[in-house]
Amino acid sequence: MVPVISIQNLDHYFGGGQLSKQVLFNINLTINAGEIVIMTGPSGSGKTTLLTLVGGLRSVQSGSLQVLGRELCGATSEELIQSRRSNGYIFQAHNLHGSLTALQNVRMGLEVQPKISSQQMLKQSQEILEAVGLGHRLHYYPDNLSGGQKQRVAIARALVSQPKIVLADEPTAALDKQSGRDVVDIMQKLAKEQSSTILLVTHDNRILDIADRVICMEDGHLLRDGVSTLTSG
């Protein structure tokens, strides 16, 4: 089992000086290749913060965070940029670009990788949109797509470059039960096909069944075996 994400003694603080507040306390976590891990917990528990650190969207302040063998603590901004390119990130609000069609949006996921030709990009984008069931909506603008459809485009965009790690932040929060289910099923299917690892943050109890492992966070602490470390002995 090869660890793709390896976190050791990770602390994180918000604000500076007098206003400094610790939001993550001594996080230790290992995620192996191909695993689907769900992080759950109440609002403010720090799960989204942890996700952004893994994704290289924030700088690691203290401790060790290794993603695909790269240490992110003390990484330069160029190293962070490179790290981001090996992740597929799915946001709660899909954040599709309004001026681009579904196909063009997905293509942006490939354009950031150098050395892929235009024809290749077109082909791959089309294929993955078909795989998420939107082959007939390639040239639609986000304004003309439903919430579930937009989230599926976002998934296609995140997965088109076949990233090793897929990070998802509340992907079903804005969707109804059926759309939410569809979205997560697609993510699971594609990830398994591409042998990607998924780290998914969610409140949504309905989708916990897709996970190999469920991790709970509370007040910046990682719980072990579902029991709060704050209350144990």
Partner 1 sequence: MELIKELQRRTPLGWLQLSHHTSRLFVALAGIAFADVLMFMQLGFQNALYDSNTTLNRAVLADIIFMSPQSRNMQSMSTFSRRRLFQAADVPGVKSATAMYIGLITWKNPQTRRKTTVQAIGVTPDEPVLDLPELNAQLDQIKLPNFFIFDRGARGEYQEVFRQIDAGQTVSTEIDKQTITISGTFKLGASFGADGTLISSNENFLRLLPQRQAGSISLGLINVEPGYDSQQVAAVLKLHLQNNQDVKVLTREEFIKFEENYWKAESPIGFIFTLGVAMGFIVGVIIVYQVLSTDVNAHLKEYATFKAMGYRNSYLLGVIFEEAIILALLGFIPGFIVSLGLYRLARNATNLPIYMTLARPVFVLLLTIVMCSISGIIATQRLQSADPADMF
* Closer residue to partner 1 (CB): 57 or 73: 57
Using the rule CB under 8 A, which residue among 23, 73, 100, 173 binds partner 1? 100
Q: CA-CA distances (angstroms) from residue 198 to 32, 49, 95, 194?
A: 10, 16, 20, 11
**Site pattern 173..212 for partner 1 (x: CB under 8 A):** ----------------------------------------
Q: CA-CA distances (angstroms) from residue 165 to 3, 20, 83, 159, 196?
A: 11, 31, 10, 9, 5
Helix axes 177-194, 147-159, angle to 10 degrees: 10
Using the rule CB under 8 A, which residue among 104, 188, 194, 229 binds partner 1? 104
* Closer residue to partner 1 (CB): 26 or 52: 52
Q: Is residue 20 a contact point for partner 1 (CB under 8 A)? A: no
Name the DSSP class of 32.
Answer: E
Query: Site for partner 1 (CB under 8 A): how many residues?
Result: 31
From the list 22-30, 76-84, 207-215, 222-230, the region that binds partner 1 by CB under 8 A is 76-84
Tokens of 152: 């599926």
Given phi > 0 = left and psi -120 to 50 = alpha, else beta, which region is 155?
A: alpha
Per DSSP, the residues of 154-174 read HHHHHHTT--SEEEEESTTTT
* Closer residue to partner 1 (CB): 100 or 229: 100
Q: Is residue 57 a contact point for partner 1 (CB under 8 A)? A: yes
- Is-contact 122 156, C-beta < 8 A? no
Q: Is residue 81 a contact point for partner 1 (CB under 8 A)? A: yes
Report the interface residues with partner 1, using CB under 8 A. Answer: 48-49, 52, 55, 57-58, 81-82, 84-85, 87, 89, 91, 93, 95-100, 104, 107-109, 111-112, 117-118, 121, 157, 169
